[in-house]
């Protein structure tokens, strides 16, 4: 066999092997699609990502929690799966009455970007609230399949889960008759009433109240074609990608970024450009809300600010009325008393705090608008 024939033969073998490998991987990827059915009463353990406090959080605030990747307990959801939560009621601590927070869970977000609406409620993970099946999955006990639960400002973590005896909103109910089991015993033991303070990492259960079907993928084929003659590929699992899910979800927000090149968005204060780190630049979420890293803007505008890492709350004090916002909240508190609803919640993305434009206006005292033609947030002194 001459050199030309040998070279041609080797190339043919390589092409055939590559085609076979890609075909096999495509079949594997197709087979990796699976259906997860969450029936009413199923309990998914999660860890809180955002701080919640009955003193700072407001009704309507959103938060996220990450599904615990434990054998069976995660119901087969891919590692890095997140659950979106909503604060549906809140009352701060008053005299002997503890702070109270009521929450609901509205959406499951997979690491690959797909999301599914759910109807979920709060439940504890103790053996009085849930049963563990032989496959490791958790099920709400019959007495806790439909009850209404809330956090109350008692216990070591100031976040004891107790029952509600009424269907009335928290704001319309006397707290003394509101809380169910455990509350009377706590009062008799002279436990001090406090605000609810839930820190990131707090574990809780999400009880599924309406059947939900989720399609998940365990294997993704990633093909990187470098030139016309070569194809480089690798197979990666959701477990491998889960390590980077915070990064991807962060850039999406609530599956947020539709803008393929977030670096195109800029910010100007009057006629001056604001400089941002290459890894933390303004973005646009799927609801067309512009989110901007707040600290570079405050520094450029020479606005003093303080940041509380425990509450993940930022307070800008350079304007006439100081303004405060917490990560996960869409409510800005002005001068400690006036509340302003923002276009979207403040978010923490890769360690950087992002806020919508309305908060920029409140914090700097400038008028803010978005010039879509140049993809520029313009802050103009009034």
State the pLDDT confidence band at 191, using cuts at 50, 70 and 90.
Answer: low
* Whether the model pTM is above 0.75: no
- Long-range contact list for 243-248, CB < 8 A, 24+ apart? 243/80, 245/79, 245/80, 245/82, 245/111, 246/80, 246/350, 247/350, 248/111, 248/113
d(CA 87, CA 58): 7
Give the residue-averaged pLDDT of 343-372.
90
Which residues make beta-bridge pairs with 61?
Answer: none
State the pLDDT confidence band at 356, using cuts at 50, 70 and 90.
Answer: very high
Give the residue-averaged pLDDT of 274-294.
86
Residue 369 pLDDT:
92
Alpha-carbon distances, residue 80 vs 34, 49, 250, 352, 361 (angstroms): 17, 12, 12, 20, 34
Give the residue-averaged pLDDT of 148-171.
64
d(CA 219, CA 205): 27
Residue 297 pLDDT:
94
Residue 83 pLDDT:
92
Residue 336 pLDDT:
86
| HSE toward the beta carbon, residue 357, CA cutoff 13 A | 22
Strands 115-123 and 203-208: antiparallel
CA geometry: angle 51, 200, 139, nearest 5 deg: 110
Tell whether the model's pLDDT for residue 361 goes beyond 90.
Answer: yes
Residue 377 pLDDT:
94
**For the chain, percent of residues with pLDDT exceeding 70:** 69
Q: Which two tokens stand for residue 372?
A: 């879509």
Tell whether the model's pLDDT for residue 381 goes beyond 50.
Answer: yes
Tell whether the model's pLDDT for residue 145 goes beyond 70.
Answer: yes
Give the residue-averaged pLDDT of 147-175.
62
Lowest-confidence region among 120-124, 244-248, 308-312, 365-369:
244-248
At 58-80, the pLDDT tens digits run 888 888 899 987 766 788 898 88
Q: Is 226 exposed, middle or buried (0-12, 13-18, 19+ CB in 10 A)?
A: exposed
Q: Which residue has the higher pLDDT, 323 or 230?
A: 323
Q: Which residue has the higher pLDDT, 371 or 27?
A: 371
Closest CA to 324 of 302, 296, 298, 301: 298
Q: What is the mean pLDDT of the chain?
A: 75
Residue 32 pLDDT:
58
User: Which domains does the chain show, CATH number per domain?
Assistant: 36-215 (2.40.128.260), 256-380 (3.30.457.10)
At 309-332, the pLDDT tens digits run 888 899 998 767 899 999 999 999
The alpha-carbon radius of gyration of the chain (Å, integer) is 25
State the pLDDT confidence band at 196, using cuts at 50, 70 and 90.
Answer: confident
Residue 378 pLDDT:
94
Residue 29 pLDDT:
42
State the pLDDT confidence band at 184, using cuts at 50, 70 and 90.
Answer: low
Give the residue-averaged pLDDT of 212-239.
46
Residue 13 pLDDT:
58
Residue 109 pLDDT:
87
Tell whether the model's pLDDT for residue 348 goes beyond 90.
Answer: no
Give the residue-averaged pLDDT of 336-353.
89
Residue 7 pLDDT:
55
d(CA 243, CA 123): 27
């Amino acid at each position: 066999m001459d050199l030309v024939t040998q070279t041609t033969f080797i190339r043919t073998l390589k092409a055939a092997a590559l085609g076979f490998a890609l075909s096999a991987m495509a079949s594997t990827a197709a087979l990796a699609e699976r259906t997860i059915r969450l029936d009413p009463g199923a309990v998914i353990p999660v860890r809180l990502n955002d701080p919640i406090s009955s003193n700072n959080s407001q009704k309507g605030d959103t938060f996220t929690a990450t599904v615990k990747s434990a054998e069976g307990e995660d119901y087969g959801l891919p590692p890095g799966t997140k659950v979106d939560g909503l604060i549906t009621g809140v009352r701060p601590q008053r005299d002997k009455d503890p702070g109270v927070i009521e929450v609901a869970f509205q959406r499951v977000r997979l690491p690959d970007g797909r999301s599914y609406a759910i109807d979920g409620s709060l439940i504890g993970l103790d053996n009085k609230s849930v049963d563990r099946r032989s496959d490791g999955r958790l099920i709400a006990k019959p007495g806790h399949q439909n009850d209404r639960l809330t956090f109350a400002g008692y216990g070591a973590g100031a976040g004891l889960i107790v029952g509600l005896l009424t269907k009335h909103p928290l704001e319309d109910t006397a707290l003394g008759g509101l809380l169910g089991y455990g509350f009377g015993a706590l009062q008799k033991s002279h436990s001090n009433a406090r605000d609810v303070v839930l820190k990131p990492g707090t574990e809780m259960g999400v009880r599924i109240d309406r059947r939900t079907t989720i399609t998940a993928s365990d294997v993704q084929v990633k093909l990187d074609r470098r030139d016309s003659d070569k194809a480089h590929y690798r197979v990666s699992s959701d477990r491998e990608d889960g390590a980077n899910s915070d990064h991807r979800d962060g850039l999406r927000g609530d599956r947020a970024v539709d803008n393929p090149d977030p670096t195109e968005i800029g910010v100007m204060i009057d006629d001056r450009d604001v400089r941002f780190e290459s890894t933390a630049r303004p973005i646009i979420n799927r609801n067309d809300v512009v989110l901007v890293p707040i600290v570079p803007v405050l520094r450029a505008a020479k606005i003093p600010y303080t940041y509380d890492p425990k509450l993940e709350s930022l307070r800008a004090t350079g304007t006439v009325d100081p303004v405060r916002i917490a990560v996960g909240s869409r409510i800005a508190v002005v001068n400690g008393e006036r509340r302003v609803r923002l276009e979207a919640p403040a978010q923490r993305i890769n360690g950087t705090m992002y806020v919508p434009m309305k908060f920029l206006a409140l914090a700097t005292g400038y008028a803010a608008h978005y010039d879509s033609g140049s993809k520029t947030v313009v802050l103009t002194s009034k």
